Amino acid sequence: MAAEILLVGLGETGASIGLALAKSGGAFQRTGYDPHHEKARAAHKAGAVDRLTMDPRREAGRSDLVIYSLAASALGPELEDIAGDLKADSLLIDTSRLKQSVLETVPARLKPGSAFIGAVPILGPKKVFHAGAIVPSADLFAGGMMAVVLPPGTSASAADVCMDLAALLGATPFFLEAAELDAATAATESLPVIVAAAYLRSLASGPSWRDRGRLAERTFESLSRLAVDRPAADMAEDLATNRAHVVRWIDSLLTELETIRQVIARADAPGLGQRFEEAATAYQNWRTARERGLDEVASAAPEVSSGGSFARLLGLRRPRPTGR
């Protein structure tokens, strides 16, 4: 019997998962929903889903696996509502970046026998360092990793389904705590956007910006476009939700900026050169590690319970990563 899979959200992540499911050749019935009808139709036309629904909450009540990929500010059903609609022995996977607030509300909405896991697909190096636009594809996360947050009491079979999904995407599972993921998100996803927005506002508020803006080239464009990559409402919601981690990273950045300001004010060219060299080294070290892949940073799977009946839902198996 084909597994019923519901994809709530058909953007880059949701549509790519749907395409990967299709490419695997497994016995799945993929139903999709997105509040943006054009996006939903595009995903259906591309083969990411077998059919579309206008009632995701009803579909959630008869699906074996629900993968939720909507932004926090989206007009569709909230994650907590979907969790409450699940049938027994079904699994809800949330792919959003922030997990601490979710773990405070979602598990309490689950019916007995259903389960919830946080799993965030992360791009592989080929996509991270590719200059072109990111579009949904079956191999979008190939060579990347799946950041997995398991709530307390997660069954081994539910965790296995998440491992299967990672294998299907070509990603390596990486287990961590919700707070660790939220802190990393604040540092690597939120802070660059905040810097870009503050930079643009500081320039645009000046009386001469219209003329000076004509002289801006690729350096300006590379930084400033980060401020418009995501809808403002989505970014604002995430920043407010993750404010404790975001504020900490802003404070750290302000400290470094003040140090650099003092070095510039002293006209200390050697001191400035040293700081830029240190930054360049940090970037090269990060890029080398990212291109090398995840073999050296595999994390051990946390303890899970033995209950549940999700085994073989996706029909794939992959050895669990272990620590070195």
Q: Regarding predicted confidence, which is higher, 91 or 294?
A: 91
pLDDT of residue 281: 97
Digit-coded pLDDT (tens) for 231-251: 899 999 999 999 999 999 999
Digit-coded pLDDT (tens) for 95-144: 999 999 999 999 999 999 999 999 999 999 989 988 678 899 999 999 99
Residue 156, amino acid: A
Q: Hey, how many other C-beta atoms are within 10 angstroms of the C-beta on 281?
A: 10
Nearest to 83 by CA among 102, 55, 98: 102
Q: Hey, how many other C-beta atoms are within 10 angstroms of the C-beta on 279?
A: 11
d(CA 284, CA 288) in angstroms, rounded, equals 6
Per-residue pLDDT at 42 exceeds 70 = yes
Instruction: For the chain, count helices (H), then strands (E).
Output: 14, 8
d(CA 81, CA 86) in angstroms, rounded, equals 9
Nearest to 33 by CA among 72, 58, 13, 6: 6
> What residues contact 20, with CB distance under 8 A and at least 6 apart?
138, 139, 141, 168, 169, 170
CB-based burial label for 49 (10 Å; 0-12, 13-18, 19+): buried
Q: What domains sit in the chain, N to C, each tagged with a CATH number?
A: 3-176 (3.40.50.720), 180-267 (1.10.3660.10)
d(CA 107, CA 300) in angstroms, rounded, equals 23
Q: Name the pTM for this structure.
A: 0.89
Q: In what order do the strands lie in the sheet with 145-149?
A: 51-52, 28-33, 3-8, 65-68, 91-94, 115-122, 145-149, 172-175
Digit-coded pLDDT (tens) for 253-265: 999 999 999 999 9
Q: Which two tokens stand for residue 130?
A: 């590719």
Helices (H), 71-176: 79-85, 100-105, 125-128, 156-169
Banded model confidence at residue 314, pLDDT cuts 50, 70, 90: low
Nearest to 171 by CA among 125, 105, 215: 125
d(CA 93, CA 116) in angstroms, rounded, equals 6
Q: Which two tokens stand for residue 290?
A: 């990212």
Q: Regarding predicted confidence, which is higher, 277 or 133?
A: 277
d(CA 202, CA 185) in angstroms, rounded, equals 25
Banded model confidence at residue 296, pLDDT cuts 50, 70, 90: very low
Dihedral sign for Cα 219, 221, 222, 226, please: positive
Dihedral sign for Cα 97, 103, 104, 110, please: positive
* DSSP code for 130: -
Counting Cα atoms < 13 Å in the Cβ hemisphere of 318 gives 21
